[in-house]
Structure 1
C-alpha cells in the first residue's frame, strides 16, 4: 500500500474502493467494506491494507452520511451521498466504529504509520473518525 496523502481516502486500497463506490454507490457497498474489518475485530486478526483501507474509507462515508464529514471531504461525493437511501444509519455507524477500532488496533496501515513515525497523527485521525461516528 502506498500512502498518497493524509486522509483515510488517500491510500491505494481506499482509492480502489472509492472508484468502485462511485460506480455503484449504496449501502451494500459500505457493508461489504466494513464487515470484514468488523469481523476481524472479534477474532483479533491483523488487517491487511486490502481490508483496512476500504473499511476506513467506508467509515468516512458513513460519518458523512451522519452529517459529520471530515474537512475537505470530496464535494462531489458528498452530493452523491445525499441521494442514497440507507435503511439503518445507526446500525451502519456502529459497524463502521467497530471496523475503525479493529484497523486502529492491529493493521497494515497502523504498522506503516508507525514505521513512518506518524503513528500519533494517524491514531488521532482514527480517534476523530470514531468521534464523528458516535
Structure 2
C-alpha cells in the first residue's frame, strides 16, 4: 500500500492496533519479515540515534510504528544515509523492497533496507 503523508510517499501495511505484541506508543522492529522473530522495542522515544548499544543495529527485516507520529528509519546512525518514512500506526512487513529517500530528501526509489536500519527519528 502506498499513501501520502505530508506530501511524502510511504510504503506500509494496513494499520493494525497491535502487531505481534508491539505496545501502543512504541516503535518495534523484528529480525524476520512479517513481524516475526524476537521483537525489539526502540530503547528511547521519540528518536534513537543508534541501535548499536541495544544490539539491534542492521538487524531489522520488518518494523511497526505504533505511535501517532510519522517516523523516518535511517540506514546509518545519527539519522544519516537513505531512509524510509513510515506513517502513524503503520508498518512494513518486508524491508527487502521499500521506497527510499536520499539524505537530502530527494527520491532515491525502490531498494532494500533489510538488515540495514541503524537509527530512527520523527518525520
TM-score (normalizing by structure 1)? 0.29
Q: Which structure's CA Rg is the greater one? A: 1
**Which protein is richer in strand relative to its size?**
2
State TM-score, norm by structure 2.
0.31
Select the structure that is richer in helix. Answer: 1
